[in-house]
Amino acid sequence: MSISTPEWVKDAVFYQIFPDRFARSEEAADALPMARREPFDNWGSVPTPYSYQGGNLQGIIDHLDYLRDMGITALYLNPIFSAGSNHRYNTFDYFQIDPILGTNETFDRLLAEAHRRDIRIVLDGVFNHVGRGFYPFAHVMEWGSHSPYVDWFHVQDWPIAPYGPGSANYTGWEGISSLPKLNTDNQQVREFIFDVATFWLNKGIDGWRLDVPYEIDDDSFWQEFRQRCKAINPEAYIVGELWFPAQRWLAGDQFDGQMNYLLTRAVFGYMIGDALDRAQTRPMGYGEMPTLTAVEFGAELDKVFNSLYEAPIVQAQLNMLGSHDTPRLLTLANDDVNTVKLAFLCQMTVPGAPNIYYGDEIGLVGRNDPFCRGAFPWMIRNNGIWT
């Protein structure tokens, strides 16, 4: 089978934005129909799992020139659909922008303004699980076994118990009751997800980053997902959150690339080495990250770029040095700016598309979630110099 991946990705420079923390347009925030006069924490306050700092889509629009001037050619946005958290991985409505971020019309403006600057936009697709406010799940909460949406989920007992202590009696992602898992064996659910994906591609987005796609353990699902997306836009980028060697998903019939944490592990193992604080990396997706010698580092790069995948996949990898799920690059490098520069040099020169996590370019720091999700400290720039 001939493998084809989007040509534009191979020369792209991505910038990842966690929308609540990148930039806040005060005018857009003041226009929100909220009962509380001051619904947000102060911009730049210590992030918590439950706090909002009020970043919005208009704030991104206002800073597109900053991104363009830095050489960014693509944005990867963490979830922007209606949800009940600052991270928005618990979707309520896949067809509506979260009102705190703006409206569907605001997103249309963002898309148009980004494209006018030759900046593409890839959205976060959270299709394994939903929020309790997702209409079909809310219907099941209200109507129990009589609901026509019962088979959209994995319910073990009635009545369902979505709140309160103890384990929920339905399947949630990682056992979390606020994240009910969809039943993608149900054809109606599959069609719903395909409709979401094609709806936003028809709007003009340039691709999907897929959240925990390995949780939908079904090659036929992702093969059809790819077919539906590519029928709308053959150059749409489909990239999976896959922390491990992923030949199964990267054979040319499912995803174009993965979030290349394999490269991240190699870079940290060699460039930070024994100085790496493994108490931060061990409990999350990085797992054990052994110190590497130069020879071992070279062997890892050879494996990642020459052995695991075909060349078109290698050229479409999303090369990471951090994300919303990881401690900040400068923090893991023990505030060693030279190490950070060396890591960026490697990221920018190996095959694939580099992805800069917002704020890493100015040395934003932070340990594991939620501290890696701090607000961008916008300051005055004079002649391109931060002051």
Bridge-based pairing state of the strands 385-386 and 381-382? antiparallel
Catalogue the active-site residues.
Answer: 211, 241
Q: Please give the Cα distance from 140 to 33 (Å, whole number).
A: 29
Per-residue pLDDT of the chain (387 residues; tens, 9 = 90+): 789 999 999 999 999 999 999 999 999 998 888 867 678 999 999 999 999 999 999 999 999 999 999 999 999 999 999 999 999 999 999 999 999 999 999 999 999 999 999 999 999 999 999 999 999 999 999 999 999 999 999 999 999 999 976 678 999 999 999 999 999 999 999 999 999 999 999 999 999 999 999 999 999 999 999 999 999 999 999 999 999 999 999 999 999 999 999 999 999 999 999 999 888 898 888 888 999 999 999 999 999 999 999 999 999 999 999 999 999 999 999 999 999 999 999 999 999 999 999 999 999 999 999 999 999 999 744 444 443
What is the sign of the dihedral through the CA atoms of 376, 382, 385 and 387?
Answer: negative
3-class state of residue 370 by DSSP? coil
Q: Please give the Cα distance from 158 to 285 (Å, whole number).
A: 34
Phi–psi pair at 318, nearest 5 degrees:
-95, 100
Phi–psi pair at 188, nearest 5 degrees:
-65, -40
* Residue 164 neighbours by CB distance under 10 Å: 7
User: Are 361 and 355 within 8 A, CB to CB?
Assistant: no
* Nearest partner of 239 among 1, 8, 9, judged by Cα: 9
Q: Please give the Cα distance from 323 to 284 (Å, whole number).
A: 12
Q: Please give the Cα distance from 64 to 169 (Å, whole number).
A: 45
- Cα angle 281, 286, 290 (rounded to 5 degrees) comes to 80
Phi–psi pair at 39, nearest 5 degrees:
-75, -15
Residue type, 71: G
* Residue 93 neighbours by CB distance under 10 Å: 15
* Nearest partner of 9 among 78, 76, 79, 80, judged by Cα: 76
Phi–psi pair at 317, nearest 5 degrees:
-70, 145
7 Cβ contact list (under 8 Å, min separation 6) = 235
User: Are 352 and 317 within 8 A, CB to CB?
Assistant: yes
Strand partners, 81: 97
CA 1 to chain centre: 29
Residue 230 tokens read as 């590519």
pLDDT confidence of residue 288: 84
pLDDT confidence of residue 123: 98
pLDDT confidence of residue 166: 65
pLDDT confidence of residue 37: 63
Residue type, 365: V
